[in-house]
A and B are shown apart, each in its own frame.
Chain A
């Protein structure tokens, strides 16, 4: 993890020299060039290289936007292409102050030498994917031909597609020559009109206002007071309909929208899903000026009651996520947040001594899932290995930040802390903890708090995509240390945090890093560099917050 890449123009020449050669569809060998410049000169050199690649159409702008935190700044996300095909994982982000390059990060691949004409057709790839999922792919889910790099430096032309399984959404890469699956991982980013303000009772018995829409004598859980449409759907425990909706076989309709005849809302899962999704939107808007998932007020859909709680004892294993998980699915029904039903009253896991309530009852979980949507529309951090752990960590970081923004700090219900999910995962036996992760002490839930303890798991869906929910403890803890300070239990390194009163600084640094400067293939080391760049942009080199972020990463062993 001690990569610190600088590159000279010779590297560029090398990159450019290899472009345009013909070869075969598999077996081409090259290498990844990680762009993490450590000086202004290196930044300038990489800027020159990237410019050339843009002019040569090897890098194309995917996203360009104005910086909402620093006036005059703008950020571009670029994707690498080879002979018109996306190079999977070849991404660069660059930041400008007016026309002057400020920073550049990313990974580009050199040495690609492939014949990109696919031996297998798109129709054949679609048939394979549909057979895998058991459902037809929608027109906007057509397989795409890409160049797929592998860790050993080989490149393969592959068809990529996303398939909704009964219990998961997976991204699948098919070798364009053989038609075989060469990579597969889960895409389910999960937690392991007329305005009418109604009154509702949340999962923890608290009173909330519900922003509803009055329609024909009834009230719908559709928020007309915020810029995006925020709708909460009550699937009424109909698991088959829920699956059909998530598989895009059946659209969500108005009849699915949670409703109340009196505008006094008593369905706690509905109340909290609806309110907490809206609070999360508010946080992003007020803190960062961001307008929702895509920064363009994309509709937010919540789904609750996909199953009936009491059916859990007879439910098939492939719908257990609908009880004991929450997840964001960008490809389902136009993008939905799905919240698990929890366990029936009085039931708890003997292994952990914890009971599970409605997942929508935890603000940090709701914010976590929505942040996966934010990531989908910004960095697109690959949900595998370290980039996947960063993806998870960013969701935990923002989930916790929303908690502190809305709730008073403390250790009780509906109080802000550094535990994840503590309001709905509650220990009921002696010594059983509340929550599922701790940013303050990741080891409490079996996560590493130091890079030396990271889990090295195969990057597949049987192994948590390479331990994305495990290794997220490392950046999570860095975020915690940067704010609160303290000593890392493994390294013994002490960090001077910025203090809770200045948490906004660290939140902005991580937000900026993860949504504007981070390429999709970032690893922990790159995340360190990028968060430091963000800290420098916002508060200056060697500012207190810059030093806190730097020391926090060092304390968790990321250099």
Chain B
């Protein structure tokens, strides 16, 4: 029963595709707008460190954290307009979210002696990162076949990054206080914004006069400064990466 359903669906899609090819051939040159909605993944290899301080036993405890952002789900949606010939402009908004762990290493002052820090290490889990990016696109589009649209684009990107950063550690400390034991890390979300750039390509397959599916690849990058909580120190953090996505295309 289930196999039959799949077969029927495939036939319907193919039929729509054939019909679309015929009509698209006739009307594509008149397309002025394109809307795209994608879901996908952002692949990046961002690594950065933060350092926070807080007063413990009259001295500054130093809490260093090393983060690695690898991949996470991303969605985007955009609209483009053809200005003349193959050239157009567009805007796309993309959102990326990831939760990662980070390695924490703290230098905790001794309760009895000055200048006798002790080391505590542990892992901070589930540190959330959000990137919301507005990409402005200059587009060059062409159609290698009747039902395939290809567009390459580049332009500035406006990044807004929100990152959970470790600003404190909880530790158990018992006499004789030689080695505190890591219990957990506390984090706060900080944000920053910066202008970067993007470059990418999109390929669409028309399934009807106004609809199709497509895939895109986009690389974007910026270096964002994050201000640590309760501090004036900043940390420079890479943002962006390679987004691989696929979704709907609407043509008007």
Contact = CB atoms under 8 A, between A and B. Distances in A.
A73 interface: no
A369 to B, nearest CB: 20
B10 interface: no
A235 interface: no
Contact of B175 (A207, A226, A279): A226
Given A227-B175, A282-B176, A286-B176, A207 B114 contact: yes
Interface string A274-298: 0100110010011000000000000
B176 A209 contact: no
B195 to A, nearest CB: 47
Interface in B6-48: none
Among B57, B112, B114, B177: residue with most chain A CB under 10 A: B112
A319 interface: no
Interface string A197-221: 1110000000111010000000000
B73 interface: no
A239 interface: no
Contacts of A197: 57-58, 111
A119 B175 CA distance: 54
A225 interface: yes
A209 B111 CA distance: 7
Nearest to A195: B111
The B interface is mostly helix, strand or loop, or mixed, namely loop
A197 B114 CA distance: 11
A279 B113 CA distance: 10
A282 B116 CA distance: 15
Contact of B112 (A199, A209, A227, A285): A209
A282 B112 contact: yes
A282 B112 CA distance: 10
Interface in B108-159: 111-114
Contacts of A278: 112
Given A207-B114, A211-B111, A278-B112, A199 B176 contact: no
Contacts of A285: 175-176
Given A197-B57, A197-B58, A199-B58, A225 B114 contact: no
Contacts, number: 30
B58 A209 contact: yes
Contacts of A199: 58
Contacts of B58: 197-199, 209
Given A197-B58, A199-B58, A209 B175 contact: no
Nearest to B173: A225
A519 B177 CA distance: 35
A208 B58 CA distance: 11
A361 B19 CA distance: 99
Contact of B114 (A195, A209, A279, A286): A209
A405 to B, nearest CB: 12
Interface string B179-211: 000000000000000000000000000000000
Contacts of B114: 207-209
Interface string A342-385: 00000000000000000000000000000000000000000000
B235 to A, nearest CB: 30
B171 to A, nearest CB: 15
A199 B114 CA distance: 10
Contact of B111 (A207, A225, A227, A286): A225
A199 B111 CA distance: 11
Contacts of A226: 175
Contacts of B111: 195, 197, 209, 211, 225
B112 to A, nearest CB: 6
A286 B177 CA distance: 11
A209 B115 CA distance: 11
Contacts of A282: 112, 176
Contacts of A208: 114
Contacts of B177: 225
Among A199, A225, A226, A278: residue with most chain B CB under 10 A: A225
B34 to A, nearest CB: 66
A285 B178 CA distance: 12
Contacts of A198: 58
Nearest to A199: B58
Interface in A294-334: none
A211 B176 contact: no
A422 B176 CA distance: 28
A543 B17 CA distance: 94
Given A208-B114, A282-B112, A285-B176, 9 more contacts: A198-B58, A209-B57, A211-B111, A225-B111, A225-B112, A278-B112, A282-B176, A285-B175, A286-B176
| Closest CB pairs A-B (n = 4) | A197-B57, A209-B112, A197-B58, A225-B111
Interface of B: 57-58, 111-114, 175-177
22 contacts: A195-B111, A197-B57, A197-B58, A197-B111, A198-B58, A199-B58, A207-B114, A208-B114, A209-B112, A209-B113, A209-B114, A211-B112, A225-B112, A225-B175, A226-B175, A227-B175, A275-B112, A278-B112, A282-B112, A282-B176, A285-B176, A286-B176
